[in-house]
Structure formats: structure tokens, C-alpha cells
Amino acid sequence: MYSKQVMEHFRHPRNMGQIKDADGIGQVGNPVCGDVMQMFIKVREGRIADIRFQTFGCVAAIATSSMTTELARGKPLEEALKIGRDDVARALKGLPPIKMHCSNLASGALHAAIKDYYKKKGRAA
Amino acid sequence: MKTERIYLDNAATTRVDPEAIKAMSPYLGERFGNTSSLHHFGRDADRALSKARESIAKKVKARNHRLVFTSGGTESNNLALKGVAFANRKRGKHIITSSIEHECVLNSCRWLERQGFEVTYLPVDREGFVDLNDLEGAIRKDTVLVSIIHANNEIGTLQPLAEIGRICSEHSVYFHTDACQSFTKTDIGLEKQYIDLLTVNSHKIYGPKGVGGLFIRRGVEIEPLMHGGGHEFGLRSGTVNVPGIVGFARAAEIIRESHIKHMTRLRDMLIEGALGIDDSWLNGPRSERLCNLANFSFRHIEGESLLVHLDLKGIAASTGSACASKSLEPSHVLTAIGLKPEEAQGSIRMSLGRDNTREEMEYTLNALRESVETLRKISPFKGRSV
């Protein structure tokens, strides 16, 4: 059901954990639906210098969180904001149709963290 | 770590016992006759069918019931519900069931509602038991059938059949129970427990898939679902699956009291070990539970992740979590016993077989501890409640 890439990211999630002094934090999902994702970012010179995640959810939720952090790391914020569900799913070599919403959640958490950073900076996203 | 292959999903299906395969084999080969044929090939097959029927009937002390062979539990439950509902329309159109039935009962009931029947879905308590006062209170003048699952397939709660049966009998309402999980694992007596209709199946008891049965008390009005050549007392037309039925009977004969004791011991070992993990609990009752099944919840983690984690370690279990199901809805059983949706997400079902060992339980408990710890590290909820 899951691709090799999904299983690989599930078994060995990248960038897992928190950033204590994060510049931006994003959270999406809700435990009732079975998925909650948190993204923490550190920003240097307009780029994502560090990124971490924590996820409560299924295999796809964990793998998409992990992949999203990989895609976003080092990217300028404007580019990171363009990472969407299809990018995440493509990078994982596909997701079962019923799990596509997971990749939406993961990129959503990333966008929320970037918007949180802008808000803290006093600038509109 | 060496890779194990531990099967803890015997409530889904079981491995066919080699004895059952041996018993079936001639009926796939040289003894291939059709039970309806008058020649000696047919008579030979028909004798095998009768012998199998008697053998299975003994398991539930059937004297006043007929056993109709079907394709499995789903068909038996469909036949019981739809067959009784349609044959008794003149008496009434009301059916009572529980909110924790298998989907084949629930969806048959929903279909019957669309045909104009009325169905009451009884709630259950925290441990999954139906309240007997609720049941009695729900019986109406036009109630024709009560259908309550014996052992719940997700959490293992064993309903008090005799008490439920007595109430039904006192109100002259037919009583059906789905015993797919409990058949041969706990004592069932059709008379002692006032059962009018009983669903049993083969592939959960080390028999082949594609075979099941419905015991029907003589005199119970019931319509067939399958119309045709009048096989199985006119209640289930279609050429009889003799090899499957012979395998089913052999599987039922093999089961011993010692298997039940063995599975009960392993189950208790599993429960004790799993409850040693922080923020975990057992779903369903501690006693009055199916001998081979335990369902646990672990806070802060999601069931599908846990299931796949265990699978990577060679352990096959099952989950009632939404993410593992096609519907993305949490299990209706876990919701019915009062778990919040987020609590139902973190559940896992382990169902034992008679071939499991103590060593496998030790390995499983270690793997479970590790997996829960790993997944909690990824979870944003550790250290605070969801």
C-alpha cells in the first residue's frame, strides 16, 4: 500500500523534534481526525536554516511530515511557501488516494510556521 | 534483532489445520460428487455432508435446530436477519440489535430499515455489555427478532447469552447471536442459552474460508436469500461445498479444552505486560472476555503507525483506528464503549492462536514497548494529555 520512500521516512523520520527558540511554529490538524502536525522553523537571511516536526498520526502523516522538512530545509521562505501537497506526495513516490490529505496537512503546517514567523516579524505574509 | 513472524490476528482469520486439509483433500479429488446426485458419487458426498453436519451440531448441543451451511459468517448473519424479518412481516417489523455488531449485521439492519423495517440499536456500557433492562425495555409488540453478537470481534466482550435468550424467550421474540468469534472457544448450548438462531464459521476456527453455518430452531419462520434447487432444507440453494464443509467439521472436532487454556494464559500475559506501559489501557472487560483477544489503547500515538511499526518487527496485529480503515472513521465499537475519537485512534487488537508461544509473547511485549516509545517521541502530545 505504501511506497518504499514512505516506509523509509516512516522508519527513519528526518528532522524529528522541537526547536526550543523557534522563529516560527505552525500546527494543523486535530486529534479527533487522527492527525496533528507541528512544524518549528529557524530563519536565517530569509532562508529556512533549521526545521523540525512532531506528528501524531498514521504512517502517511509521519512520512509526509518528514519529507516536507527535507523539501523545505535551506529554501528561501517564498519558495518554501510554494511547497504543496503534490510536491510532497511526488517526492514520496505517491500516496494512497485516501491518504492524500496527509500531504496537504504537512505542507499546511510548514506554511503555518512561515506565516507565524512573518507575524512575529510584524510583516504580513 | 532476528526477524520473527508472529501472527496475532487470529480474529481476522486462522491458518487451516493440517488435519482439516487432510480431511478435505479426498473431496477435492476422487470423492467429488454432488450431494444432490442419486448415484454412488452423489451418495458418498451426501454422507460426508450429513456426518459433518452432525459433528458440528454436537458442538453446540443442537437437538431442535437445523444447521444450514452457508458461505460464511456474513451470509449466515444476512440470512438470519433478512430471512426472519421478511418471513415474519405479518407479526411485526421491529428488530433489536446492539451498536457493536459486526458490519454485516449493522449493514443488513440498515438495509432492512430502507425496506420499511424498524431497528433499535442498543447502546453498550464502558466494557461493551448490553444492559438487560434496556433490552427488555426495547421489546415491543411488533418485535420479531433480537440479534446480539456473542463475542465482540474488536474488544472481545462476551455477552450473557443465557440472560438475553431468556428475556427473548419470555417475550416470544426470536433470538439470534453471531458467534463467529466465540464458536469452539467458549461454551455454547443452544437450549441452555435459549438461542433460536446461531451464526458460526469455519475460517476463524482453523477451517477453510468460504464456509459457515446458521443453526435455525425448527419452527422458526425464515425466508431463503438464495433460490434455486432447494439445497440445505430449501434455505440455501446452490451446490453444496462438500470439501469446505468437511474441513470445517474436522477443524471443529480438533479443538480441545487445552487450546483454550493455553490461549487464555498467553492473553493474560499479554494484558499484564501491555498494561505495564505508561498511559495504556485495556478496552473491554478483564473477565467475561474472549480467551484469545485483547485490545489496547496507547495514549499519544495512532494505531496504524503502531501496527506498521510492529509489522516491521514481524508482528501481525490489527487496529480499529480511523487511519487504517477506508472510511477514516474511528471504530464504531470503540466509540460505542465511550472512547473519544482521539482515544480510539491509538488502539490495537491482538488475537492469539493456539500455536502462539510464551516466547512470542515476550518478543511481542518488548517490540510493543519499543514501538510505543519511538512513536511517542515523534508525537507532539507526549507529556500532556490529548
Q: How many domains does chain A have?
A: 1
SS3 B34: coil
Nearest residue of A to residue B378 by CA position? A54
- Of B225, B185, B6, the C-alpha closest to B104 is B225
Residue B386 pLDDT > 50: no
Q: Is B379 on the interface with A (CB under 8 A)?
A: yes
DSSP, residue by residue, B154-197 = TT-BB--HHHHHHHHHHTT-EEEEE-TTTTTTS---TTTTT-SE
With a cut of 60, say whether residue A54 has pLDDT above it. yes
- Residues B167-172 have a mean pLDDT of 98
ipTM above 0.95, yes or no: no
Write the pLDDT tens digit of every residue in B298-324: 999 999 999 999 999 999 999 876 666
Domain membership flag for residue A78: yes
Contact map slice: B 285-344 vs A, CB within 8 A = 300-302, 304-305, 308, 312, 321-324, 326, 328, 330, 340-342
Whether the per-residue pLDDT at B384 is higher than 90: the answer is no
User: What's the whole-number mean pLDDT along residues A45-58?
Assistant: 96
**pLDDT band at residue B341 under the 50/70/90 scheme:** confident
Give me the mean pLDDT over the B60-80 stretch: 98
The reported pLDDT for the residue numbered A125 is 46
Which candidate, A71, A35, A40, A42, places its Cα nearest to that of A53? A40
What would the mean pLDDT of B273-285 be, rounded to a whole number? 97
- Band the pLDDT of B383: cuts 50, 70, 90: low
A41 occurs within a structural domain: yes
Q: Of B150-164, B209-223, B342-356, where does mean pLDDT reach its minimum?
A: B342-356
Q: What is the dihedral of CA B296, B300, B302, B306, to 10 degrees?
A: -70
B81-98 pLDDT tens trace? 999 999 999 999 999 999
Domain borders along chain B are 18-254, 256-378
Contact B122, B96 (CB under 8 A): yes
Beta carbons within 8 Å of B214's beta carbon, 6+ residues apart: B67, B68, B70, B76, B79, B80, B197, B198, B199, B200
**Option in A2, A7, A31 nearest B342 (CB):** A31
According to the model, what pLDDT value does residue B4 have? 76
CA distance B354 to B185: 11
CB neighbour class for B218 (10 Å; exposed up to 12, middle 13-18, buried from 19): exposed
The CATH label, of 3.40.640.10, 2.30.30.240, 3.40.980.10, 3.40.50.300, for the domain at B18-254 is: 3.40.640.10
A125 falls within a domain: no
Say yes or no to pLDDT of B2 above 70: no
**What average pLDDT does this structure show over A101-120?**
94
* Residue B251 C-alpha from the chain's centroid: 16
CATH of the domain at A24: 3.90.1010.10
Nearest to A32 among B305, B308, B342 (CB): B342
What's the confidence (pLDDT) of residue B25? 98
Quick one: closest CA in A to B302, which residue?
A57
- Per-residue burial over B48-65, b if 16 or more Cβ lie within 10 Å, else e, is bbeebbebbbebbebeeb
Model confidence at B342, pLDDT cuts 50, 70, 90, reads: confident
- What global pTM score does this model have? 0.93
Contact B303, B320 (CB under 8 A): yes
Q: What is the mean pLDDT of residues B128-145?
A: 98
DSSP B151: B
Q: How far apart are the first and last CA of chain A?
A: 38
| Chain B residues touching A14 at Cβ < 8 A | none
3-state secondary structure labels for all residues of A10-41: HHCCCCECCCCCCCEEEEEEECCCCEEEEEEE
Query: Which of the residues B279, B299, B301, B305 would you substitute to probe the A interface, choosing the one with the greatest number of A C-beta atoms within 10 Å?
Result: B305
Residue A77 within a domain: yes
Least Cα separation, residue B386 to chain A (angstroms)? 7
Which SS3 state, helix, strand or coil, does residue B32 take? Answer: coil
Dmax (CA) for chain A in angstroms is: 44
Tell whether B55 lies on the interface with A, counting CB pairs under 8 A: no
Does residue A84 lie within any of the structural domains? yes
Q: Which of A27-31, A114-118, B174-178 has the lowest mean pLDDT?
A: A27-31
Give the torsion through C-alpha atoms of B331, B337, B342, B346, to 10 deg: -70
The range of the structural domain enclosing residue A16 comes to 4-119
Q: What is the mean pLDDT of chain A?
A: 93
Has B323 been annotated as catalytic? yes
* DSSP SS3 for B370: helix
CATH (one of 1.10.540.10, 3.40.50.150, 3.90.1150.10, 3.30.470.10) for B256-378: 3.90.1150.10
Kindly report the average pLDDT of chain B as a whole number: 95
Q: Do B312 and A16 touch (CB under 8 A)?
A: no
Q: Quick one: pLDDT at residue B321?
A: 64
The whole-angstrom separation of Cα B326 and Cα B336 is: 19
pLDDT at B325: 62
**Residue A38 and residue B378: Cβ atoms within 8 Å?**
no
pLDDT score at B362: 97
pLDDT digit string (tens) for B150-162?
999 999 999 999 9
B280 interfacial to chain A (CB closer than 8 Å): no
**Are the beta carbons of B341 and A32 separated by less than 8 Å?**
yes
User: What are the residues whose beta carbons fall under 8 Å from the beta carbon of B267, sequence distance 6 or more?
Assistant: B289, B291, B292, B293, B294, B352
Looking at residue B385, its pLDDT comes to 43
